[in-house]
Chain A
Amino acid sequence: MIKTENLTKRFGDFVALDNISCTINEGCIYGMVGSNGAGKSTFLRTISGVYRADSGTALLDGEPIYENPAIKSKIAYVPDELFYLAGATMERMAVMYRSIYPGFDYDRFRQLATDLGLDTRKSLNTFSKGMRRQAVTILALAARPDYIFFDETFDGLDPVMRNYIKKLICQDVVDRGASAIITSHSLRELEDTCDQLALLHRGGLVLESDVQNLKTSQFKIQIAFRDDYTNEIFGDIDIVHSVRHGSVTNMIVRGDRSETVMRLSALNPILLDVLPLTLEEVFTYEMEALGYTFNLD
């Protein structure tokens, strides 16, 4: 389990992480979304032991991560800016990973490379950006870490390859009980993969929730009445957002769906429709509710 409490990281005057507290359970795929500069990469670097936090704690299985090889040996980090030795082939990089990670599974590395059609004897310099990302992802997965962190991993991958990589990550989580943290600036990339989602904005953790809960706890209702009305008639229904056009009100409601529908039906509306929300809409409305104006791409 990864637990951070009041994690703060500054670069000069700029606060990259501002008192982040969160818990990431084992066997979970944790998605972290936010715009550029939100602090996603800094968060991953801090919990990978690359950065030392200025204040707060980052613990993995109850132990600090920074300068703790025993804990860091459970982590593989696939950064946004990929690392590979100059002129190296995948085979050469596999040799390097094997000398670093004793549990490196060479057979799995070969198998994955074959599945993705990557020539392990060709220089990585000759690979396209997407192929290099696939190669580095394969190397990290073959290291069989307990925790694997992907920073903007789906950038540069075609849809087929994205799905394949997502499948591989899910497979590791299911088969080995590994945990993964995936960051992206695009919520759409994460909504079908992650168990938990967090939203970072300007270094702060704005929202963190279970994906299933997010999807089911909010819904969109379209309602209209014959007579004139105000929102007061809805009483204590938790309306996150509402817009009225003529006699029709569109509102985002948080709470139990059937109970809400029952209470609204009792008001004798001439129109009552319940529509599902995309995760993106949920995030947008949650953000607005928190006072942020935020474009989730």
Chain B
Amino acid sequence: MKKKLFSRGLYVEGLRQLRLTGVIFLAALLLFGIAIPVIQYISATAYEYYIDDYSAQVVDYMSMCSFMVAVPIVVAPVFTFVLFGGFNKRSTSDFYHSLPYTRICMFISFIAAIFTWIAALTVIYSIATIVTYLMMPKIFIVSLAGMFDILFTIAAQTAMVVFVLIMAMSITGTPVANITCAGLIMFLPRLMITMISMTLSELAPVLGGNFGVFGHKYNVIWAMIYMFFGGGGYNDLYRDNLDCDIYSTVIAIIYALLAVFLFCRRKSETAGHSAPGKLTQHVIRICVGLVISGVTTCGLLMEFEIGAAIILYPIAIIVYFAYELITQKTFRSIPKTIPGLGVLVGLNVLIVAVCLGGAAYVHSYTPDSDDVKAIYLESDGFDSDYEVSFYKYASEKAAAIRIEDKAAIKIATKALRESVELSERGTYYGRDTYDPETSSYVATYMEVSFVSGLGIKKTRNIQIDFTEYNEIIEIISDNKEYKDKFVELPDPIVRTLNVYTGEYWFSPVLTDEDRKEIYDSVCEEIENVDFNKWIDNLRNDAMDSNGFEISYTMDGTSKRVSFKINYDILPKTSELIMDKINDSAKDEMDVLYELLSDYENTVDKYFDIHVQMGTNEWTINTYELYDLYNIPDELDADFKALAKGMKSTEFDPENCIIVNIEYSIASDKSEYGEEWKNVVVYMPNPDDFEPECDYFHFFSDEQYTEEYYKYEYYID
């Protein structure tokens, strides 16, 4: 009988047993997959201007098929429990083990059934969802870039979950023990690694947050849990993580081999028992206790409240005994578990030793510049899942560039020594240092990798004076490869390019041609920009009052890159954008000008105008309802002055101001306010025509700095 590794009959039987669950999951996924884009479309088209004026939304695979996250965390475990959960029951376990199949054949055939269902769900759900999005091209630009990376991640996660569960089910024989054991296998090592890493970062902050393969990203299942608890994001998990996927796949393969081995060695008599022997029961129980006690120990080293430890250590002991009681359902075994507490204490002592020893080791690394052959300026990752600052984007790419310049290495090693001293004294904070006396930042921090003569690379987070930082930037700006990373913009999906003004994030209406022209202008202008000023501009969050932020979806993914444009850095592009804004407002401005210049003959009885200008924190407005027939003469003059200012397009881009005007006119008081018109326009600085206004006044608020004047109209 050729049933050594795979049985078609058993495979088909596995498919049949998963049919009910599979159909339920498929129905749920299809419901979400089709309903969500339809709801998004309905919500978007509820505002007609959305389609006509605003940029389209790029939806990549993960944005469309976001419920794929359910595959590893819900679908895979449920399928595994449906097919393998029966092995917890004596009758089922005996039945399957009496069948004319080898255990490995049973394992492979059932696993094949699980993965067939998962593949079918993935394909059907993905196709249905993508087709639904494709049917709404006005709103959505479908991008499948990165789809296979995401599917790779999900496949690795799914495989890890399935094989760990089977490992747990092969070791233990009750659902509680299965879940506990699976959780421990999957998460305990990473939890301990993460806690020890965090503790080391706290004890030796120069270590920074990049732990390489020990970082939370590398195990894609742990990364998911980490993300759910607020650490990291989708980017960490699903994008640009090929190395993590490969690492996790290797782990999944190890899990698979262990699962095969354990399943083949599994004793049917384990069914219904929490562990096959006393030793296994001890190990699991100690690991359960270690989860809480280990975290508490690390917390104590990180200077948590001592009160928390007083509560958490007893909880760890309670959980330790509770596991024994829940799984053994008797008090009689409790006394035999007490010696295990000694092992638990020993493990916690080991954690303390590892953390303190690790911190001492980190602080011991202060190489001379001669011992360092090269450095790498590392990136500290992206800001969020979707919005990525161009600086971070470029830094990420530039991090791979090897810098061998001796001067740069000398500055970096000196900064490292100083940082280690601060770290040992506990005064290293790893953030920009503000000097209250000069009211400026005097130092910044950066992650630098030092490469020794033997090629050993060590990464440290160093604090560095701005002057020295600028020296490094000056040095590396000679490196064309490095410089190019910061002046080469990623390819845009043009329809998604948006420009935001520095004031109240107004986004002008742009045609695709406008968007392309602005993008081309930026590309052309930054080629000749002063590199240091450009880097400063990118690093600095501040924008001047006539600055812009450009944001677009790039490289076929739904990730948006954004960067700021200040007038003194990219004046041509700034003027171009101002022109675009004023051009688009021209017709409306003409109408408004006519209204204000001769309002008694052109507007209806009820009229209100609401003007916003200046910074985002405040607005000016005339909320009063004016009866035009009773408007004082002074106001009449001011309206005309205002109109003059608004009409003027001959403004100096270096001395202009963006104004947002909303107005409403009506012949009947009851209709007043029902329809507001809105126009945004750059106009000369109000200072230039203020003297002509008697009734409206502009004034500057002394509380603001010279760069930020606050202007306000008010009525006497």
Chain A residues with CB under 8 Å of chain B are 11-12, 45, 48-52, 67, 69-73, 75, 77, 79, 81-83, 85, 95-96, 99-102
Contact = CB atoms under 8 A, between A and B. Distances in A.
B602 to A, nearest CB: 79
A45 B97 CA distance: 9
B94 A67 contact: no
Given A81-B90, A83-B91, A48 B98 contact: yes
Nearest to A95: B16
Contact of A51 (B16, B101, B268, B277): B268
B100 A69 contact: yes
Q: How would you classify the secondary structure of chain B's contact residues: helix, strand, loop or mixed? A: helix
Interface stretch (B6-14, B228-236, B446-454, B540-548): B6-14
Contacts of B98: 45, 48-50, 72, 75, 77, 79
A75 B98 CA distance: 8
B94 A79 contact: yes
Interface string B258-269: 000000000111
B102 interface: yes
Contacts of B99: 72, 100
A100 B9 contact: yes
13 contacts: A48-B98, A49-B98, A50-B94, A67-B103, A69-B1, A70-B100, A72-B101, A79-B94, A82-B91, A83-B95, A96-B16, A99-B12, A100-B100
Contacts of B10: 99-100
Interface of B: 1, 3-4, 9-10, 12-13, 16-17, 90-95, 97-103, 105, 267-269, 277
Contacts, number: 69
A56 to B, nearest CB: 17
Contacts of B102: 67, 69
Contacts of A75: 98, 100
List 6 A-B pairs, minimum CB-CB distance, nearest first. Answer: A73-B100, A83-B95, A99-B9, A81-B91, A72-B100, A77-B98
A67 B101 CA distance: 7
A180 to B, nearest CB: 15
A52 B98 CA distance: 11
Given A79-B94, A100-B9, 8 more contacts: A50-B93, A51-B268, A51-B269, A69-B101, A70-B1, A79-B91, A83-B91, A83-B92
Contact of B13 (A49, A72, A79, A96): A96
A76 to B, nearest CB: 8
Nearest to A92: B16
A50 B99 CA distance: 9
Contacts of A100: 9-10, 13, 99-101
B616 to A, nearest CB: 62
Contacts of B95: 77, 79, 83
Nearest to B268: A50
A83 B9 contact: no
A77 B96 CA distance: 10
Contacts of A73: 1, 100
B267 A85 contact: no
B522 to A, nearest CB: 64
A70 B2 CA distance: 8
B631 to A, nearest CB: 82
Contacts of A70: 1, 100
A96 B96 CA distance: 12
A67 B106 CA distance: 11
A69 B105 contact: yes
A278 to B, nearest CB: 34
B269 A11 contact: yes
B173 to A, nearest CB: 13
A271 to B, nearest CB: 55
A83 B12 contact: no
Nearest to B97: A50
Contacts of B269: 11, 51
